[in-house]
Amino acid sequence: MSAPDWEQLIFIAAVTAVAAPLLGRYLAATFRGTGASQNRAPGDRVFLPVERVVYRALRVDPESSWTWRGYALAVLAFGLLSTLALYLILRLQGLLPLNPTHAPGMSPLLSFKSAASFITGTNWQAYEGETQASYLAQMAGLVVAQFTAGAIGLAVALAVVRGISGSARTIGNFWVDLTRSLVRVYIPLSVAGALVLVSQGAVQNFSGFRTATTLAGGTQQIPGGPVSSMEVIKLLGTNGGSFYGAGGAHPFENPNGFSNMFDLLLVIVLPFAIAIMFGRLIGRKRQGYAIVAVMAIIFLGHTVVSMQAEGHGNQLLPASVSQVASGGNPGGNMEGKETVFGPGGSALMTVGTMGTTAGATDSALDSYTPVGGAGAFVGILLGEISPGGDGGGLYSILVFSLLAVFVAGLMVGRTPEFLGKKIRAPQMKLVIAYALTIPIVVLVFGSVSLVLGAGTRSILNPGMHGLSEVMYAFASVANNNGSAFAGLSANTPWYDTTLGLVMLVGRFVPIVLALAIAGSLAGARVHARTRATLDTSGPTFGVFLLGVIVIVGGLIYFPMLILGPIGERFVG
Amino acid sequence: MRRHFLAGTVMLLGLTLVLGFGYPLLVTGLSALLFRHQADGSLVYRGGKLAGSSLLSQSFTDSEGNPMPRYFQPRPSDAGSGYDGADSGASNLGPSNALLIGFVPGVNTVGLDGRPSAANPFATRADPACVPTDPKGNPVTSPTPGQRYARNPDGSYVCDPSTVPERAIAYRTFNGLPASASVPIDAVTASGSGLDPDISVQNAMDQAPRVARARHLPAHQVTSLVHRYTQGRQWGFLGEPTVNVLDLNLALDRLR
């Protein structure tokens, strides 16, 4: 890694260290209590009247609070409705207005996969945004899904926190949580963020393609579109789906070194802030920071390894091609990377978002070195908790924390306890189901794809790299990441169907299980802390949690990593 | 459950209106007020006609597809058939793929019989990593015994021109550099978008003497122009130093 690479990393760490606690404090003030007449929150004068209109239109009583079953049903009902609506928009976009690029309707399977993909926050894209999605579909379909995906994650996290720590048997009201998240967090931050991106050169217009006469006398189509407004919520909502095919590598989405780092901050600051909010909401700030520390260590792990590998370059290229960084040459592995980002900046932004459900890329992951690509793989496989999707990162790491106190409890022979509540068999069954759901679907669907012609025909790169392409696809969609080793041609009946299904399972099964765990703990007696209580906010627990995450989350995939990136590193 | 579906339907309709239309229109309006040039795509005009965008690379090739020596050349592109503004994208070639790195013994080299081989049977003197092409010009990475190959007049194999080793050879020839000259990595690799508007400073400096010769300009005039169009790192550490190819070429054309 060159000196500017380190400087960019330190910049990201410093800005996050300042911004996340501030935002976390704001979130905690906003989401304290249940129901709408929670304690007074900042900005009530502006936001409260808007929210009251929403509650009246929805005919919900904002003061009501539900059991976990009611909450989960509302999430599922809203997910189903949104999926259907988005499916229809994508199918019919050719007939609908606001389509200056004349995109035809998507095929049924592609519409299904794309709808599932955006509703679950996965944002895997098997279409070219420039020509295969209309402006209307992008604005009124995909962007709306991106807002709700982020807000649903945050809402579920709030409900889980109430269940795990609260004394009430109910865990909140989904419509209230969703509304408040959108009105008080996502919409204001998105408008401001979009303007910052436009100021750097990201486009925002409705002009369709413009034809330019190039200097050499040829022609070039200049694309347009409401790009910045999508780019910002793609990142802020940890979604990852871009307006254009090339995603964050496209200069019209991510034009320069500043916007590249700004993009990364849009992704990671909010999930860190949500963890800090958790500590404040339960009245134990240290607990929040213990979780932040575990998240940050994993984030630095996979990101720095990847930056190092990409900066080092592709060892298989001839020595006469200069891969050593100097003032006039970015050096490193530049295939699939933009000059202005360089290898280190590209890996920082791309792999930095792999521990979240964003999976937003500014470079082509398929062309990463084996070690660089493995960094992205690891971020996803550890369950996306570094720092995780909006809300998703928090409830995932809380489930891992329950597992950690259980294992620790077994070791010392005490009934495990988290935040004063005893963890017993019913909770542990749900925790185990949560921890196994995603590995099972990844490994089963991935392995089947590797023995079926329908699966292997889509592979672009030969050998071990091809295995990585397939396994990465399932790992990515099951964790709702959405980044890809994009050489894989995933718009085939086999991949449209399986990837679409895996996304839905990977999103809604963990949500229901997390809510069920919260529900089973809601109202449980809170035991006073004694000297014998295992401290869950100190370094000992942090290291222990880290170990549980690596062993439970990582080891299950180890054979696959040996056959994929690790093998490629040593053979290739 | 019916209650949830009713509330969900109203919510979705409302959000589609507010977030699907209101929000992008608000951002578009504010952008047009505050940052019109950027929001429009940083468009560049020449003689009143749209000539491109400062943020998108375009091709500088003549009608036969050969790179024009009088213009600085951008990085290779995999956007559509090259620099296609309507089809951004990368090669997605893996780091050990022969189409990217050529045939490297012990990694991906294949003999005439299609089996792994310790030496590259298609090697030429200029390119030991040569990947042969069939008579139609398509690269052959998995030879079979009956395969036919394209040959040069001297009998050597025609190599796939888009591997990194081949691009490096072409870059040296085009710029009149000695065979031992080291080639900047960005000059021989395609970007993620295929529309990378920039090249590295070293890449621009390597091309400057050729551009000066083609335009009958003194070399120092072209290099000083390169210096003027070199963008340093933002705030001193964000991103990499770059040279914008379209802006530089427009400035060159204005020199006349």
User: Would B182 be classed as within a structural domain?
Assistant: no
User: Would B183 be classed as within a structural domain?
Assistant: no
B123 and B237 co-located in one domain: no
B168 and B96 co-located in one domain: yes
Enumerate the residues of chain A whose CB falls inside 8 A of the CB of residue B164.
317-318, 321, 335
Flag whether residue A175 sits within 8 Å of chain B, measured between CB atoms.
yes
Q: Which residue of B has its CA nearest to A572?
A: B107
Read off the pLDDT of each residue in A163-184 and give the average, rounded to a whole number: 94
Residue A37: pLDDT above 70?
no
Q: Which residue of B has its CA nearest to A5?
A: B237
Instruction: Write out pLDDT tens, residues A205-220.
Output: 999 999 999 999 999 9
Residue A515: pLDDT above 80?
yes
User: Would B248 be classed as within a structural domain?
Assistant: yes
Residue A570: pLDDT above 90?
no
Of B8, B92, B205, the CB nearest to A487: B92
B74 and B194 co-located in one domain: yes
Q: Which residue of B has its CA nearest to A233?
A: B19
Determine the distance in angstroms separating the CA of A153 from the nearest CA of chain B, rounded to an integer: 16
Q: Are A463 and B197 inside 8 Å of each other by CB? A: no
> What are the φ and ψ backbone dihedral angles of B198, each rounded to 5 degrees?
-110, 160
Of B75, B191, B249, the CB nearest to A249: B191
Q: Are B94 and A330 inside 8 Å of each other by CB? A: no
Flag whether residue A224 sits within 8 Å of chain B, measured between CB atoms.
yes
B103 and B156 co-located in one domain: yes
Residue A366: pLDDT above 90?
yes
Residue A572: pLDDT above 80?
no
B15 and B125 co-located in one domain: no
User: Would B252 be classed as within a structural domain?
Assistant: yes
Enumerate the residues of chain B whose CB falls inside 8 A of the CB of residue A258.
234-235, 238-239
Q: Give the pLDDT band (50/70/90) at residue A35.
A: low
Whole-number mean pLDDT of chain A? Answer: 95
Of A59, A187, A209, the CB nearest to B86: A209
Enumerate the residues of chain B whose CB falls inside 8 A of the CB of residue A334.
185-186, 189, 191
Test mutation, B1, B16, B17, B27, chain A, max A CBs within 10 A: B27
Of A331, A367, A368, the CB nearest to B185: A331
Q: Give the pLDDT band (50/70/90) at residue A40.
A: confident
The H helix count followed by the E strand count for chain B is 8, 6
User: Would B253 be classed as within a structural domain?
Assistant: yes
B48 and B22 co-located in one domain: no
Of A57, A74, A465, the CB nearest to B94: A465
User: Would B121 be classed as within a structural domain?
Assistant: yes
B67 and B132 co-located in one domain: no
* B244 vs B24: CA distance, rounded Å: 30
Test mutation, A215, A236, A465, chain B, max B CBs within 10 A: A215
Enumerate the residues of chain A whose CB falls inside 8 A of the CB of residue B62.
216
Enumerate the residues of chain B whose CB falls inside 8 A of the CB of residue A178.
11
Cβ pair B204, B226 in contact under 8 A: yes
In order of A14, A19, A405, B16, the CA distances from A292 in angstroms are: 14, 13, 17, 34
pLDDT of residue B1: 80
Cβ pair B229, B104 in contact under 8 A: no
Expressed in angstroms, the distance from the first to the final Cα of chain B is: 74
Q: Are B52 and A220 inside 8 Å of each other by CB? A: yes
Of B21, B41, B197, the CB nearest to A203: B41
In A, residues 275-334, which contact B (CB 8 Å cutoff)? 313-314, 316-318, 320-323, 326-334
Residue A114: pLDDT above 90?
yes
Q: Please give the structure tokens belonging to residue A172.
A: 């909140």
Read off the pLDDT of each residue in A540-565 and give the average, rounded to a whole number: 92
Q: Are A220 and B85 inside 8 Å of each other by CB? A: yes
Q: Are A246 and B75 inside 8 Å of each other by CB? A: no
Of B5, B39, B237, the CB nearest to A198: B39
Among residues A406, A432, A407, the alpha carbon closest in space to that of A417 is found at: A406
Q: Are A175 and B7 inside 8 Å of each other by CB? A: yes
Q: Which residues contact A125 (CB under 8 A, 6 or more apart)?
A: A114, A117, A241, A242, A245, A247, A482
pLDDT of residue A167: 86
Q: Please give the structure tokens belonging to residue B192.
A: 């993620």
Flag whether residue A447 sits within 8 Å of chain B, measured between CB atoms.
no
Quote the domain boundaries for residue B252.
Answer: 41-90+190-256
Determine the distance in angstroms separating the CA of B157 from the nearest CA of chain A, rounded to an integer: 20
Enumerate the residues of chain A whose CB falls inside 8 A of the CB of residue B73.
none
Instruction: Write out pLDDT tens, residues A311-330.
Output: 999 999 999 999 999 889 99
Q: Are A367 and B91 inside 8 Å of each other by CB? A: yes
B163 and B229 co-located in one domain: no
Of A228, A250, A366, the CB nearest to B92: A366
B80 and B198 co-located in one domain: yes
Flag whether residue A434 sits within 8 Å of chain B, measured between CB atoms.
no
* Beta-strand relationship, A417-418 and B49-53: unpaired
Q: Are B180 and A320 inside 8 Å of each other by CB? A: yes
The 3-state secondary structure of A198-265, one letter per residue? HHHCCCCCCCCCEEEECCCCCEEEECCCCCHHHHHHHHHCCCCCCCCCCHHHCCCCCCCHHHHHHHHH
The structure's pTM equals 0.97
pLDDT of residue A552: 85
B76 and B106 co-located in one domain: no
pLDDT of residue A571: 76
For the ranges A179-183, A272-276, A318-322, the lowest mean pLDDT is seen at A318-322
Flag whether residue A523 sits within 8 Å of chain B, measured between CB atoms.
no
* A58 vs B8: CA distance, rounded Å: 8
Read off the pLDDT of each residue in A177-189 and give the average, rounded to a whole number: 97
Instruction: Write out pLDDT tens, residues B96-123.
Output: 999 999 999 988 999 998 888 899 999 9
Q: Which amino acid is at A123?
A: N
Determine the distance in angstroms separating the CA of A39 from the nearest CA of chain B, rounded to an integer: 25
Q: Which residues contact A368 (CB under 8 A, 6 or more apart)?
A: A306, A309, A310, A333, A336, A347, A376, B95
For the ranges A236-250, A418-432, A551-565, B223-237, the lowest mean pLDDT is seen at A551-565
Read off the pLDDT of each residue in A458-475 and give the average, rounded to a whole number: 94
* A467 vs A564: CA distance, rounded Å: 6
Of B41, B50, B201, the CB nearest to A213: B50
H-state helical runs in B153-197: 164-175
To the nearest 10°, report the CA torsion of A306, A312, A318, A319: 180
B86 and B194 co-located in one domain: yes
Indicate the number of domains in chain B: 3
Residue A561: pLDDT above 60?
yes
Instruction: Write out pLDDT tens, residues A449-458.
Output: 999 999 999 9
Residue A391, by phi and psi: left (phi above 0), alpha (psi -120 to 50) or beta? Answer: left
pLDDT of residue A39: 67
Q: Are A251 and B9 inside 8 Å of each other by CB? A: no
Q: Give the pLDDT band (50/70/90) at residue A1.
A: confident
Test mutation, B185, B196, B203, B234, chain A, max A CBs within 10 A: B185
B28 and B49 co-located in one domain: no
pLDDT-flagged residues of chain B (< 70) = 256
